[in-house]
Amino acid sequence: MSVPDAAVAVQAPDAGITPVGRLLPAMFASNVSAFIGLLTPLQVLMTLHLTRIAGPGAAAAFGIITGFGALAALIASPLGGRISDRTAARFGRRRTWILTGAIAGSATVLGMAFTTEVWQMALLWCGTQALFNFQLAATSALMADQVPERRRGTASGLLGLSAAVGPLVGVAAVSAVSDPFLQWIVTAVAATGLAVVSVLMLRDRQHPRPEGEASLGVVELLKSFWLNPWKHPAFGWAWLVRFLVFAAVASSTYNAFFLMDRFDVSPEEVPASVLVLTLLNVVALALTAVIAGPLSDRVQRQKPFAAGAGVAAAIALALMAIATDMWFVYAASALLGIAIGLVGSVDLALCVRVLPNKENAGKDLGVINMAGLLPQSIVPFVAPVFLALGGYALLYVVLGIAALIGALAVLRIPEIGREGDPRFAAITRTSASAA
């Protein structure tokens, strides 16, 4: 008995969809690649390099450089999402930017090894942030493109885990190498290699531009930075939750300076000390994410995990504020890992659920990513004020309060299955052209 051609077409697998067994590891590898390139310099290499070239002004220079770098990331993330949405390359709209972002970003990382002035490092760090955030935006968009809804908690947990595995791999690798220049090389090679592995595992069909669709102009690109939270309230609350919780997480960028200031850790001992904190953070994060992600899929609940993340982050920062010996710091690092694991297990899945239009997933998730990137810019700029007024204790208390407010903001987002409940913020949809 013959089967009609139409039925065969329906039953045939989509050549542009990656099997989940390959898709999730590929997304994980891409994110780890980007976080090796971004967080290894941020947590270790930049501190050490600035200590050599800026001397006593290293801490102030670090704040300025990371602030401008985060601003570059803030601009690049929605642009990268919008551009990948509209990319018609045969290599695929997401794969193209995963590979391009990683290779070019790794080149700028390597370039920082040759800098002799703070302004040079600032310029290259802005390039690094922009390029790797193109990669992250394209990877995040795969959640809406290809991940089945029933597996999004698991996928979100894996991507949350990657934010800790990346620096763990990077810090461990550079700690095994004594030569400063080789440390930069190791970071760049690791970031590029994992991106190559990722694109080899992914399927990503070509998306030709629809007939009649205008090319991206300045106005269209500027629209990439905004999505009206009053028209899309659930999206707005999800954005705010991410911003406040990630403000608390941004405290970890000051770990090296905190250890040198409060516990007199020498610059030579910083990589090993940061590695210990990173290990504790990653172990706690990994255990939390691998349990919480699948569990959220099973129980079909996301809000308890996101709210718990805010509370855990606040307690972690309270411990840092009162730390009198390293055991407080170790406990805080582990608890912050639990917080990241909890929010990572549901955050991206929750954000995809409230997207106004999945055809513009790259752009809209780029706007969401801005909520995670803004704290990286704002915290370094405002931290010197709090450090001058009350030292690290005041800084950590303020960030802890932000995390608690984030936990409360979660309550405004409708839970899975309650999207139309008038007690919560509405999830609204738009056409692709309107978005």
Q: Which is higher by pLDDT, 230 or 396?
A: 396
Q: What is the CATH number of domain 18-206+225-412?
A: 1.20.1250.20
Question: In the structure encoding, which two tokens stand for residue 148, read together?
Answer: 């089945």
**Which of 5-19, 104-118, 408-422 has the lowest average pLDDT?**
5-19
Q: Are 286 and 161 spatial neighbours (Cβ–Cβ below 8 Å)? A: yes
Contacts of 157 (CB under 8 A, 6+ apart): 289, 290, 292, 293, 294, 296, 341, 344, 345, 346
Mean pLDDT of 360-364: 72
Please, what is the end-to-end C-alpha distance for the chain in angstroms?
47
Percent of the chain with pLDDT over 70: 89
Residue 88: is its pLDDT beyond 80? no
pTM for the full predicted model: 0.72
- Output the pLDDT for position 11: 40
Q: Which is higher by pLDDT, 362 or 317?
A: 317
How many other C-beta atoms can be found within 10 angstroms of the C-beta atom of residue 3? 8
Q: Are 69 and 382 spatial neighbours (Cβ–Cβ below 8 Å)? A: no
Residue 361: is its pLDDT beyond 80? no
Residue 110: is its pLDDT beyond 60? yes
Contacts of 178 (CB under 8 A, 6+ apart): none
**Which of 105-109, 132-136, 344-348, 383-387 has the lowest average pLDDT?**
344-348
- Output the pLDDT for position 56: 82
Of these ranges, 301-305, 352-356, 406-410, the one predicted with the greatest mean pLDDT is: 406-410
Q: Rounded to an integer, what distance in angstroms lies between the CA atom of residue 135 and that of residue 38? A: 11
Percent of the chain with pLDDT over 90: 35
Which is nearest to 371 in space by CA: 166, 251, 219, 226? 226
Of these ranges, 168-177, 180-189, 232-241, 423-432, the one predicted with the greatest mean pLDDT is: 180-189
Q: Rounded to an integer, what distance in angstroms lies between the CA atom of residue 124 and that of residue 112? A: 6
Q: Are 337 and 312 spatial neighbours (Cβ–Cβ below 8 Å)? A: no
Question: In the structure encoding, which two tokens stand for residue 274, read together?
Answer: 């940061």
Q: Rounded to an integer, what distance in angstroms lies between the CA atom of residue 330 and that of residue 373? A: 25
Q: Rounded to an integer, what distance in angstroms lies between the CA atom of residue 307 and that of residue 347? A: 11
Mean pLDDT of 162-187: 87
- Output the pLDDT for position 320: 94
Residue 168: is its pLDDT beyond 70? yes
Mean pLDDT of 101-124: 95
Q: Which is higher by pLDDT, 228 or 409?
A: 409
